[in-house]
Structure 1
Amino acid sequence: MTTTAVNIPLLLLMASMAIAAGLLMSAANQPSPIREAQRVWALGLVAGPLGLALLRLGGLLEAGLLQAAAKTIMTAGFSFPLIALALISGASIRWRALLPVVLVLAASMIFLLRFPEAPMRTGLLSLVCSLTCMLAAQHAWHCVSRVETPYGRIVAFIFACGAAVLLARALMLFPMTGVDNGLTEMLLAAAVLIPALATVSFVLVCGDRMLMQLKLIASTDELTGSQSRRAFLENGRRQLNEARTRNLHTAALIIDVDDFKLVNDRFGHGVGDQALKKIASALRNQLREGDGFGRLGGEEFAVLLTGVNEAEALATAHRLREAVAGLRFSSDNISVPLRVSVGVAIDPGNSPDLDRLLERADLAMYSAKRNGRDQVAVSPCFEAAR
C-alpha cells in the first residue's frame, strides 16, 4: 500500500470538512430539532472520510488497533446521517442507530485479539454499513410524508445506492479469494461520499421541516395548544364545505368563560393563563377527533361539529359546560370557580358561510350570559328548525 492510498482519503476528508463547516454555521441559527440534525449530519460528513484515511494509514503502518478504530469511525459516518434523518422525521430510533458502531468495534477487537498477526478485512464493515444505509434510506422516505417534502426521495435514493455499493463490496470480500483489491477500495471510497452527495437534498428537507414548524406555530394558540383563530376559521370553512358536499348538518358552538376578568383581577394573569389551559384541555377531551376546536381570543373558544343532529349538538354543548364546571382548580389553596356559557347554532345546509353560523352561535352565547351564565343557549334559527 502506497501513500497515494492515504492521500485520496485525505482529500475527501478536507472536502467533507469544508461542507461540514458550512452546515455547522447554518445549524447555529436553526430551531430544534433541525439544529441538532444538521450538527449530527456534519459529524457524519467528517467521520466517513476520516475513518477511511485512518484505515488506509493503519494498513500502511500495519497497525491493527488503528484499523479497528478507523472501522468504528467509518461506521459512525453512516450512523450519524441515520440519526439526523430520524430527528427530522420524528422517528424514535435516535441513538439506537449507534448500535452498528458498537457491533463493528466489538467484532474488530475480537478479531484483533484472536488473530493479531492477520490482516484485518472489511467485509463485515461493508455489510453493517450497507444495512445502516438502508435504514437511512427508509427514514429519508418517511420524511416525504411526515415532513411533506419531495426531497426525501432524493436522499432515500442516494442512500439506497450506497447500500447497494456496500453490499456488493461485502459479497466480493466474503469469499476470501480472488478479490480485486483495487475495485473494493474504489467501492469503499465511493460509499464514503454518500452523505456528502446527499447533503444538498438533506438541507432542502430541513428547509421544508422548518416551514412545517412555522405553519404549526402560526396555526396553534401558544397558550392553550388549540387552533388559533385564523387556523380555526380556515379549517372550519373547509369542514363546512365538505359537510355540505356530503349533505351533513354542521353545528357551531361558542364557549365563553364566565366572569374571567374577576379571576384575573383577584388571582393575577398567571393564574388566569393556567385556568385557560385547564379549560381548553377539559373541552378538548369531550370532543371527537375530527371536531374543530380553536381559541378565538381572550377567554372565548369555538367548536365546529359535523355529522350531528340537533339533539347531539345540544348534548355535546352540555357535556362541555359540565366538564368545565367539574374542574378542580385552585391558587394558594383558594378554589377558583370556573364556569362557561355556551351558544349553539346549527347549519341545516343553507347558511351562507361559517362567519354567519358563528355569529348566530355568538348571539346565543350572549343570551346564555344574560340569563344567568353557566348554561347552554341555542340560536333562534336553531329553535325554529326544531
Structure 2
Amino acid sequence: MSSTGVLLLIAMAACMASAAVLGSLARHRIAGLGRWLAAHCFLIVAFGALVSSRGDYSPAIVLIACFCVLLAAVLILQGCRQFASRPMMGRYEFLGLIALAGAVLYWTVIVPDENLRAAVMSCALCYTRMAVGWTIWNSRGQHRRRYGHWLVLVAASVGATLYAARMVQCVFFANPAAKVLEPTPLNLAFVSAGILSLLLLSIGLVMLVNDSLVENAQRLATIDELTGLLARREILSRGEEMLKAARSTGSPLSVAIIDIDDFKLINDRYGHPVGDRVLKKFAVEVSQRLRQRDLFGRLGGEEFAVLSPETGKARAATFVESILSSVSGGVTTREGEARCNFSAGIEESGANDTLNDVICRADAALYRAKREGKRRVELAAASLT
C-alpha cells in the first residue's frame, strides 16, 4: 500500500472512531449531532472507496469519493448552523453546491483534469470550513463552556487555509501530468495536513456535544423543566445567599409559600396535561408581576416560593395578595375553563433564623390558610417568630 493509501486508511479509521462516539451520544438529541454523524459516515464511504481501489482511482471511484466529501462538508456546516440555531443553507449556497458538483462531474468524466477538479473541491471545502468556523465562533455566547468552540475555530481556520493554498497550487503551480493523490512530498503534506485538520474538527464537534450535555445537566439541576422557574435545589441555594446578605445589612427577607388550591381536583377532572398547563400559566403570570429583585421558584408539585429581600412580611403579604388577585391561572379546555385559586403563607427572617426555619413557619401559615377556607394569604403567627 502506498503512503497515500496509508494516510487515507488512517483518516477512515479516525472517522469511524468519531462516528462511533457521535453515534453513542445520538440519543441525547443535541441539535446538529445527527448531521455530524451522517457526515462522518459519508467520509468513511469516501475514504473506504479510495483505499479499496489500491491506487487505481477510476472515474466512478473518484466521483463517489468527491460527492461523499462534498456531502460531508455540507452536512457538517448544516449541523453547525443547526447547533447555533441558524438557517442551515441559503439559496445561493445550494445553487453553488450544484454548480460545484457539476464541475466535479465535468472534470472527472467529460474533460478529465485532476488539477481543476482538485481546485474545485478545495474551493468548496475552503468555503465550508470558513463558514463552520464563523458559525460556531459566533454561537459561543449561548454557552458557558467554550473549549469546543475554540477547537472547532482552530480546526476550521487550519482547514480553510490549507484548502485555499491547495486551490492556488492546483490552478497556478501544478504539473499538468501530475496525479492529485500521487505520493509526492507535496501531496503527502497536503493529505496529512487535511487529515489532521479533519481530526481536530471531529474532536471539536464531539467536545461541542459534550459541552451541551454538561450545560443541559446543569440547567436541569437549576431550572424546573415544566415551568421554566428555578428548581427547588436552586431556589434554596440562592435563598441561603439572600439570607446571608439580609443578615449582613440587617434587613428582613420575606418568604412566601404559594399553593394552588384543590389542584388534585383539576388533574382528576381535566387530566394531567391540563394541570401542567395551569402550572405553566401560573408561573408565567406571577413572573410577569414580580419585582426584579424577587426570587421565584417551584418547590414541587403545585407549591411555589417567592423570596423578597428587604421586605417585611406585612408588606410582602400586601404584595403577594395583589399578585394573586390579578392572576387568573385558568386555562380553556373542551369541558370548559379550568380555573383555580391560590393560598399563601408568609414569614420574614429573624436574626438567628436559617432559611429552613423561615420556610417552615411560612409553610405552617400556608396550611392555616388552607384550613380557614383557602384563597387567602396568612402571615406566620407572632408566637412562632
Tell me the TM-score normalized by structure 2: 0.74
Distance 1:45 1:266, change over 3 A: closer
Aligned position for 1:133: 129
Distance 1:162 1:350, change over 3 A: farther
Aligned position for 1:339: 341
Q: Is the 8 A contact 2:7 2:191 kept in 1?
A: no
Q: Give 1:191 shift.
A: 1.6
1:314-329 map, 5 Å: 314=317, 316-324=319-327, 326-329=328-331
Q: Which amino acid aligns with 2:360?
A: E
SS of residue in 1 equivalent to 2:89: helix
Aligned position for 1:286: 289
Tell me the TM-score normalized by structure 1: 0.73
Q: Which amino acid aligns with 2:102?
A: M
SS of residue in 2 equivalent to 1:96: coil
Q: Give 1:296 shift.
A: 1.6
SS of residue in 2 equivalent to 1:338: coil
Q: Which runs of 5+ in 1 are unaligned?
A: none
Q: Residue 74 of structure 1 is aligned with which of 69, 75, 78?
A: 69
Q: Is the 8 A contact 1:83 1:97 kept in 2?
A: no
* CA distance in 2 between partners of 1:273 and 1:306 (Å): 29
Which stretch shifts more, 132-141 or 224-233? 132-141
> CA deviation digits over 1:274-308, x for unaligned, max 9?
43333333323333566432222332111123466
Q: Which runs of 5+ in 2 are unaligned?
A: none
* CA distance in 2 between partners of 1:137 and 1:152 (Å): 8
Q: Which amino acid aligns with 1:333?
A: E
Q: Is the 8 A contact 2:4 2:191 kept in 1?
A: no
SS of residue in 1 equivalent to 2:366: helix
* CA distance in 2 between partners of 1:376 and 1:279 (Å): 17
Q: Which amino acid aligns with 1:216?
A: R
The answer to whether 1:150 aligns with 2:147 is yes
Identity %: 26
Which stretch shifts more, 6-15 or 332-341? 6-15
Q: Which amino acid aligns with 2:375?
A: D
Q: Is the 8 A contact 1:341 1:376 kept in 2?
A: yes
Q: Give 1:33 shift.
A: 1.5
Distance 1:265 1:152, change over 3 A: closer
1:197-216 map, 5 Å: 197-216=200-219
* CA distance in 2 between partners of 1:241 and 1:174 (Å): 69
Which stretch shifts more, 251-260 or 47-56? 47-56
Q: Give 1:114 shift.
A: 9.9
SS of residue in 1 equivalent to 2:88: helix
What is the Cα-based RMSD across aligned positions, in Å?
4.4
> CA deviation digits over 1:296-334, x for unaligned, max 9?
23321111234668797456413431243x244355534
Distance 1:170 1:242, change over 3 A: farther
> CA deviation digits over 1:182-207, x for unaligned, max 9?
52563255224423344445434433
The answer to whether 1:352 aligns with 2:348 is no
Q: Is the 8 A contact 1:321 1:376 kept in 2?
A: no
Q: Residue 117 of structure 1 is aligned with which of 111, 118, 134?
A: 111
Aligned position for 1:303: 306
Aligned position for 2:237: 234
The answer to whether 1:251 aligns with 2:254 is yes
1:40-59 map, 5 Å: 40-48=35-43, 50-51=45-46
> CA deviation digits over 1:172-223, x for unaligned, max 9?
3454678997525632552244233444454344334323323333444354
Q: Give 1:254 shift.
A: 1.3
* CA distance in 1 between partners of 2:286 and 2:3 (Å): 67
* CA distance in 2 between partners of 1:236 and 1:20 (Å): 43
Q: Which amino acid aligns with 1:254?
A: I
Q: Give 1:340 shift.
A: 0.5
Q: Which amino acid aligns with 1:96?
A: M
